Amino acid sequence: MSTLYEFVFFGLVEVLCGFIAIGFNHALPKGVALGAKLKIDNRLKPMLGGLILAGLGFYFLAILAILAILGLGGYMTTAAISGSVALQMCLILLVLKFIATIVSFSFGFNGGVFGPALFMGAMTGAAVGLMAESVAPVFLSTRSPVWEPWWPVSLVRSWWRSSA
């Protein structure tokens, strides 16, 4: 049963997400403090932040990437979980969402961190899954991708199929 080897990659995703979370938790207060130190009128700070976010959005002219960076990114999260996002796109979107969330908070935009955290976790899991498929395809099950969110169900399903 080759799916047991996938637990190594699940652990890798957990460790990488932990490092990203630690980096995010250190960068967010520093970004907010930097935004508070700016010597411009508080009414102009959101405009400056909006210009920075527009620059990030126009870095990628694809409409889905702009929505993923500047919005919730639900479509790209679903696409990453289903395995239809390229590795380079996952990594670029991960970095840009990280930066965009910190810039948003730094310049006084209201919002949460739960949605961006889900997005960054999905991109990290998809990236590790794509790398694992290219490096060690022998150890991975062919029926369920490494980043599948319901991996306990896929383990039972693959066991059921192998025993039948």
Predicted confidence (pLDDT) at residue 113 exceeds the cutoff of 60: yes
Amino acid 159 reads W
Among 82, 88, 89, 86, CA closest to 148: 82
- pLDDT tens digits, 146-156: 445 545 555 55
Radius of gyration of the chain measured on its C-alpha atoms:
19
Q: What is the pTM of this model?
A: 0.76
pLDDT at 15: 92
Higher pLDDT: 16 or 63? It is 16
Range of the domain at 14: 2-163
In terms of phi and psi (left: phi > 0; alpha: psi -120 to 50; beta: otherwise), the region of 125 is alpha
Instruction: Give the total number of structural domains in the chain.
Output: 1
- Average pLDDT estimate for 68-96: 84
What is the secondary structure of 21-32 as a DSSP string? Answer: HHHHHHHHHHHH
Query: Where would I find the beta strands (DSSP E) of the chain?
Result: none
